[in-house]
Structure 1
């Protein structure tokens, strides 16, 4: 069979090119499960892959897309049969191997999760890796004993995919959330999602020369890194916890160890790609149950695969609010329960 896919290629002079073309099933990497893709999503990592980032793309041509929701087309294992609705996020999908910006993907069976009842394909990809990351961040805070009565939770980069979903989960759980964003037009939506207050970056960023700041936060979810993460950590109360998952603001921290050894602050690093499948499944089940986000549709913008290339620069430049859901097979892929 041949099918549509978005290709990233590199010319002999090192220039990358993005195009929509036809692929053959023989080009798919090895694996036990072939999935007919209904929807994927756009993540920062996908945009880097589309630009041929050497830390992500190992060989060309490449098909990005680190998220997939669709129906099993072929299966070599008893756990899945054709027609089963499934999701795949992370691992090597869209990075070391071809990803979800194609009508079909082939993956190892131990990367595949059944789509939880209560979620459809579009909702699953509105969440995607961003939602999983946000869920893991919130889980880290809860596991550390951070509760609603301990004080405010700060969420940086709150208008982005991870940040906005983290705000929605924390708000649903009853936390007093301070959402941090540089986008004035995002304030209303963030309050709708559950933020108690919305502030600009300048309200959180502080002089990096100060080893400690007044304790403001019981915990935090940082999607930015750099000076933002440093400022949050230095202003976290005793025994607080900050879950960190991003580096758009920088990969280095200008700070001392004082927050950690004088206040007992915990920095929890969050990686969604290589989490054990059972951990991913637990977070997904929460999204279909106690963490279900009622206004999930307010977070998404639907984009057909053919229009996706224009969005890569937008997400790299921080111009995207919420989540981009990529229509691949769309409604042509039936959701069977």
Structure 2
């Protein structure tokens, strides 16, 4: 299919300005790889939105096709681990950042990036989960490795209506946790309760007028997706011996805090990266999702399918913080 064209969202630098638009491409426009995949879906993440703007901190060389995850069917491969026709999922490893990504009808990648879709998950479900779900479940794994086991533990999830936050709530509820507080700029209560939240609070309610070094111990474990000032306000409220995972920076990259929550309450702050996770860990996470995530709760997220031509509009909503749930680009 060397001369065949397909559509992709291409981000380019023109006269020192960043432009993004859907274009006809050929295999010559794709990064090198051993496996060709016909893309079925690619989920839109906040990181993908940043990839389309100047100084977004995601893409460093142009032109580039963004899209940090993709689900589809193998067209050609040199691998012995999977074959033509297999359904597969790809997340991380530079996809859509330094390697042409999922916002393309055809994706070409190295064999070692490919994970076979586990039984029990459809392509749409896998795309709904995507990088956001891998991040959410790895965050839960980290909390469980650092003390979370009591099903009655007080758990806070920030950025609750976003991709990572919404899947985290659905997974926590599926695992039997009974006390999940959802924190969101948008107080979308019905949606969050349907996912599994037992309490919903808005950012305005949560943020104190002044952040003190130590405050009332409100939460045992926290899954934070937004960072910044919100994170600064959470740390003084974590219970003795508790832990918090960090996986996002929608509220900013700066952190103002003191050592007191760490040295007087023994809390742990755990960084979570889903990009460079080895495939063995990703495969284990996908298996856990396939076996333990309540698919009815996943359907509550209500992933919206959109054509590739609407990406720019959706990206605008993501950057403005007015986007809820999961949006999938259906190829």
Q: How far apart are the structure 1 equivalents of 2:151 and 2:20?
A: 50
Distance 1:61 1:111 in 2: 22
Distance 2:143 2:210 in 1: 25
Deviates more, 1:318-327 or 1:14-23: 14-23
Q: Which residue of 2 aligns with 1:230?
A: 232
Pair 1:319 & 2:326 matched:
no
Give the 3 Å change call, closer, same or farther, for CA 54–159 of structure 1 in structure 2.
closer
> Retained in 2: the 8 A contact 1:178–1:195?
yes
Do structure 1's residue 309 and structure 2's residue 323 form an aligned pair? no
Q: Give 1:72 shift.
A: 0.7
Deviation string, structure 1 residues 248-288 (Cα, Å, up to 9, x no partner): 11111111011111111010111111111111111111111
Partner Cα distance (1:174, 1:297) in 2: 18
Give me the whole-angstrom Cα distance separating, in 1, the residues matched to 2:276 and 2:300.
29
- Provide structure 2 residue ranges, at least 5 long, that are not aligned to the other structure: none
Q: Distance in 2 between matches of 1:35 and 1:149?
A: 41
Match of 1:335 in 2: none
Q: 1:301 to 1:9 in 2, by over 3 A?
A: same
TM-score calculated relative to the size of structure 2? 0.95
Give the length in aligned residue pairs. Answer: 326
- In structure 2, C-alpha distance between the alignment counterparts of 1:229 and 1:247, rounded to whole Å: 10
Q: How does 1:97-136 map to 2 (within 5 A)?
A: 97-136=99-138
1:3 corresponding residue in structure 2: 6
Would you say the 8 A contact 1:156–1:180 is kept in 2?
Answer: yes
Q: 1:311 to 1:228 in 2, by over 3 A?
A: same
Corresponding residue for 2:80? Answer: 78
User: Per-residue CA shift, 1:195-239, capped at 9, x if unaligned?
Assistant: 011011133323555111111111011111112112222111111
From 295, 298, 301, the counterpart of 2:297? 295
The change in CA–CA distance for 1:275 and 1:207 in structure 2 (over 3 A counts) is farther
* Cα RMSD, aligned residues only: 1.4
Residue 331 of structure 1 aligns with which residue? none
Output aligned runs, 1:1-337, within 5 Å: 1-12=4-15, 14-53=16-55, 55-149=57-151, 151-175=153-177, 176-184=179-187, 186-206=188-208, 209-299=211-301, 300-328=303-331
Give how far 1:52 is off. 4.3
Q: SS of the residue aligned with 1:289?
A: helix
CA distance in 2, matches of 1:20, 1:209: 45
Q: CA deviation at 1:141?
A: 1.1
3-state DSSP class of the match of 1:79? coil
- Deviation track 1:104-135 (CA, whole Å, cap 9, x = no partner) reads 11111111100011111111111111111111
| Aligned equivalents of 2:209, 2:276: Cα separation in 1 | 35
Shift of 1:170: 1.2
Unmatched segments (≥5 aa) in structure 1: 329-337
Counterpart contact for 2:151–2:176, Cα < 8 Å: no
CA distance change for structure 1 residues 159 and 8 in 2, over 3 Å: closer, same or farther? Answer: same
On the 8 A contact 1:168/1:194 being kept in 2, the answer is yes
CA contact (8 A) 2:180 2:198 kept: yes
SS in 2 for 1:294: helix
User: Measured at CA, do residues 76 and 314 of structure 1 come closer, stay the same or move farther in structure 2, by a change above 3 Å?
Assistant: same
Q: CA deviation at 1:244?
A: 1.0
Residue 24 of structure 1 deviates from its aligned partner by 1.0
Asked if the contact 1:10–1:60 (Cα under 8 Å) also holds between the matched residues in 2, the reply is: yes
Deviates more, 1:21-30 or 1:142-151: 142-151
